[in-house]
Amino acid sequence: MRFPNTLFARTSLTISGALLIFILFTGFVVLNYMLLPVARQSAGDLAALMVLSARTWTELLASARKDFQKELRSSHDLILQATPPEAPLKALLLHSPYMLFLEEALSTRLGQTLHIHQSDETPDLYWAILPIAGKTLYLGINHDHIGAEPPRAVVSIFLGASLFILLTTLLVVRRITRPLETLSRGVQRLGQGTHSLPLPEDGPRELADLARKFNQLSSEIERLLENRTTLLGGISHDLRTPLARLRIAAELLRGREDDDLLDSMQQD
């Protein structure tokens, strides 16, 4: 299927493509130079808090650990416990950039490779298994603590950008092509010999000048057609009168002179 070969279609495609490339480039720059550095810094801060909390828990007396866990949960929305969760944990298969940064920061701080885990029963909780001071601690992070939703953000940006491109393209291209469509209809009527109304001489300066010149040309052509009609009427009148008189004279001479000569005169 070929793309319509019209000014509206070609201009729409050009502007839409240019805007799409600009938005993609802008998104790439914002992602790489703003969002990802901020996410990396935030993940590093969260990893530092998690490791510090786990080490503090191991240094506390057994009687103070429960209060520390409550304070940690109420203040930072972190779940710290020495026993594994009831639901079985499994390592994340799909990682958002934030989770990759968090795993990287935890691994760097503890000197070994760590992974973020999740359970099917509580998908909103992410668990980190931290080996601290000879103990294995389980630290849970609620998804609301992170607050990032990359898939929803990508879909929202794509839909918003698509709607913006569509509306902007239609508005701009329509403002350009509407005067040209009016001019095209005027030229068509002029070519068919139909009297055309003057085109509105408004809008952008270039299109207004074009409409003004077309109106001038249309007026000149109409004057030329009127002059041609007058000229042809005058010529036909000037020829009709002597020819009629010549025909009458030829009829009157019939029978008096050479009939062949009269027939030739009447034929002429």
Walk me through the domains of the chain, giving residue ranges and CATH numbers.
7-153 (3.30.450.300), 199-268 (1.10.287)
Q: What average pLDDT does the segment 40-60 reach?
A: 92
198 pLDDT higher than 70? yes
Q: What average pLDDT does the segment 206-232 reach?
A: 78
The larger pLDDT score, comparing residue 40 to residue 158, is at 40
State how far Cα 195 lies from the chain centre.
Answer: 41
Band of pLDDT at residue 256, cut at 50, 70 and 90? low
Distance, CA of 175 to CA of 127 (rounded, Å): 57
Band of pLDDT at residue 76, cut at 50, 70 and 90? confident
- The chain-wide mean pLDDT, for the chain, equals 80
CA distances, 22 to each of 34, 81, 153 (Å): 17, 49, 18
Band of pLDDT at residue 193, cut at 50, 70 and 90? low
169 pLDDT higher than 60? yes
At residue 200, the pLDDT reads 74
195 pLDDT higher than 70? no
Distance, CA of 27 to CA of 47 (rounded, Å): 27
Band of pLDDT at residue 104, cut at 50, 70 and 90? very high
Nearest to 146 by CA among 121, 130, 125, 175: 125
207 pLDDT higher than 60? yes
Distance, CA of 20 to CA of 165 (rounded, Å): 7
* The two structure tokens encoding residue 195: 């009297």
Q: Within 10 A of 141 (CB to CB), how many other CB atoms are there?
A: 21
Distance, CA of 157 to CA of 179 (rounded, Å): 34
77 pLDDT higher than 80? yes
Residue pair 127/139 in contact by the 8 Å Cβ criterion = yes
At residue 148, the pLDDT reads 60
Distance, CA of 59 to CA of 62 (rounded, Å): 9
Indicate yes or no: pTM above 0.75.
no
At residue 204, the pLDDT reads 66
